[in-house]
């Protein structure tokens, strides 16, 4: 559902942009017009579309600085590009948002960086399956370098690599990755040293993972160099919003500690922040040394999140607020009662995590996911595509927000009525106006209450940052 909304909104942008030109776009089909996909790409000009008929295409393709839409007629299950171990399957660089790759299975790649996809610039990759690729040094499935591409609705599974810079599934410096599943990928260290870190994702500070499932990835230390292996699911920096991080493993061996089974922050890359995530059943392991730690998370910041069932512990070196942590964790708004999760990480009736988050921790709807033309509201959907903001009107709300309070975790327990919450609407009346300005001025200074509604930028003090947000979002 979320994928469809995103794909439509990206399409709308493309149609507008292409419509501004004078050239009439052609559609070129493979294999009818050209026997190979690369042949069609070489023949295409900016604005063209390339359609690919179901089949397996034994080739590698390069889409360099060309604004074309490459798509399959029948989806990724039946349309496969297989590089047969001869390099990166897809290389795409120097492109804008008008370069799109849609509905392909990308497999059989083998290279140093990005065995499946090597991506930079601002291209959009939609509804692809990236599987069975090897990227020795970084990014087994995908390597995302300079620029800020968008990856939507993709499955990145059963890739391996990353012995030098990490990322068995994805190595990413800066990108928006939405509605993707990153599962069963594997990073490892060789005897040539390296970090072996980020079984699923190795992320830089510009990375946004929104509504993704990072499940069953492994970072494994296999070499002779002592050290540690970190981040079975995610290693690095950036933002994880509405994500499930489950059953990942940071796997050490004698003398090598696994750290951060689910996620681990890499301080040299920046801060790693998890908002409304579920971190469950991950493991940090080693053999005999007993130094494995941070089964759920190591070194990150967690807000509105649920951390449960990780081993050997839940958290290490972590700052957490408004989160539910097994065994307890110091921080404002944290709780320790059983979150009552089902097998997929959804809250069940009676969960103490319902209405227990902090609204101002939720990011703004900058992608306009609900297509209402407003980006000055808080993110409207949860991981299921259900409304993010609603509340049980009868019960007391343990969290912070008006008129309704966000839950902890990636999924919102559904009540009526649903609300849209505007950024900086301090009093929750559906407008950003004088009453909100006055509320900010009245609360000026340090937040001395657990729930400080005037602190709309969630900085733990009420100051010019909050004042500016009110003025910038004035309705
Ligand atoms: Ca709620
Ligand atoms: Ca919106
Ligand atoms: Ca208001
Ligand atoms: Ca503030």
Give the model's confidence band at 227: pLDDT under 50 very low, under 70 low, under 90 confident, else very high: low
Supply the pLDDT for residue 4.
46
Q: Give the contacts of 191 (CB within 8 A, at least 6 positions apart).
A: 223, 224, 225
What's the chain's average pLDDT?
Answer: 91
SS3 category, 132? coil
Name the nearest CA neighbour of 169 among 87, 211, 120, 232: 232
Residues with CB under 5 A from ligand 4 (ion): 455, 457, 459, 465-466
Q: Are 306 and 342 in contact (CB under 8 A)?
A: no
Ligand approaching nearest to the C-alpha of 358: 1
Residues with CB under 5 A from ligand 1 (ion): 355, 391, 407
pLDDT one-digit tens code per residue, 267-319:
889 999 999 999 999 999 987 677 889 999 999 999 999 999 999 999 999 99
pLDDT at 307: 98
Interval 344-369: pLDDT, tens? 999 999 999 999 999 999 999 998 98
Which ligand is nearest the CA of 434, by number? 3
Report pLDDT for 95. Answer: 81
| Residue 321 alpha carbon to ligand 4 centre in Å | 16
| Ligand 3 centroid from CA 431, angstroms | 4
CA 219 – ligand 2 centroid, Å: 37
| Sign, Cα dihedral of 296, 299, 300, 302 | positive
pLDDT band at residue 226 using 50, 70 and 90 as cut-offs: low
Query: How far lies 212's CA from each of 2, 5, 241, 256, in Å?
Result: 11, 16, 8, 29
Spacing, Cα 63 to ligand 1 middle (Å): 44
* Domain annotation for the chain: domains and CATH numbers: 1-161 (2.160.20.10), 195-421 (no CATH), 424-475 (1.10.1330)
pLDDT at residue 58, as a whole number: 98
Provide the phi-psi class of 49: left if phi over 0, else alpha when psi is between -120 and 50, else beta: beta
If you average pLDDT over residues 325-333, what whole number do you get?
Answer: 97
CA count, 13 A, side-chain hemisphere, 475? 18
For ion ligand 3, residues whose CB falls within 5 Å:
425, 427, 429, 431, 436
């Amino acid at each position: 559902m979320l994928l469809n909304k995103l794909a439509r909104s990206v399409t709308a942008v493309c149609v507008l942009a292409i419509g501004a030109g004078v050239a009439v776009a052609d559609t070129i089909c493979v294999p009818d017009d050209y026997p190979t996909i690369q042949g069609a790409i070489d023949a295409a000009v900016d604005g063209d579309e390339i359609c690919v008929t179901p089949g397996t295409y034994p080739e590698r393709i390069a889409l360099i600085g060309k604004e074309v839409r490459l798509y399959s007629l029948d989806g990724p299950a039946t349309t496969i590009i297989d590089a047969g171990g001869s390099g990166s399957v897809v290389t795409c660089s120097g492109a804008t948002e008008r370069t799109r790759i849609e509905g392909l299975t990308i497999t059989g790649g083998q290279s140093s960086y990005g065995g499946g996809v090597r991506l930079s610039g601002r291209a959009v990759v939609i509804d692809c399956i990236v599987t069975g690729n090897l990227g020795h040094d970084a990014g087994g499935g995908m390597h995302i370098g300079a620029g800020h591409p968008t990856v939507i609705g993709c499955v990145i599974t059963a890739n391996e690599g990353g012995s030098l810079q990490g990322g068995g599934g994805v190595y990413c410096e800066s990108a928006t990755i939405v509605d993707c599943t990153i599962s069963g990928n594997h990073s490892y260290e060789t005897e040539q040293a390296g970090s072996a870190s980020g079984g699923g994702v190795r992320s830089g500070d510009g990375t946004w993972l929104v509504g993704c499932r990072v499940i069953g990835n492994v970072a494994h230390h296999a070499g002779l160099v002592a050290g540690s292996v970190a981040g079975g699911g995610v290693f690095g920096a950036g933002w994880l919003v509405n994500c499930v991080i489950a059953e990942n493993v940071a796997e050490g061996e004698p003398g090598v500690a696994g750290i951060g089974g689910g996620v681990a922050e890499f301080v040299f890359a920046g801060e790693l922040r998890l908002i409304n995530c579920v971190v469950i059943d991950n493991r940090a392991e080693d053999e005999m040394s007993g130094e494995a730690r941070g089964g759920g998370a190591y070194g990150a910041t967690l807000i509105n999140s649920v951390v449960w069932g990780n081993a050997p512990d839940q958290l290490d070196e972590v700052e957490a607020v408004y989160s539910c942590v097994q065994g307890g964790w110091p921080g404002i708004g944290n709780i320790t009662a059983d979150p009552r999760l089902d097998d997929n990480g959804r809250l069940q009736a009676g969960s103490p995590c319902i209405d227990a988050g902090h609204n101002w921790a939720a990011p703004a709807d900058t992608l306009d996911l609900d297509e209402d033309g407003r980006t000055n509201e808080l993110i409207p959907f949860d991981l299921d595509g259900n409304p993010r903001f609603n509340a049980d009107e009868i019960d007391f709300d343990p969290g912070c927000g008006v008129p309704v309070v966000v839950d902890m975790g990636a999924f919102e327990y559904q009540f009526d009525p649903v609300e849209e919450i505007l950024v900086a609407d301090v009093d929750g009346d559906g407008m950003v106006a004088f009453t909100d300005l006055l509320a900010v001025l009245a609360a000026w200074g340090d937040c001395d209450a657990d729930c400080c509604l005037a602190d709309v930028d969630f900085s733990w003090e009420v100051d010019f940052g909050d004042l500016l947000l009110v003025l910038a979002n004035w309705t």
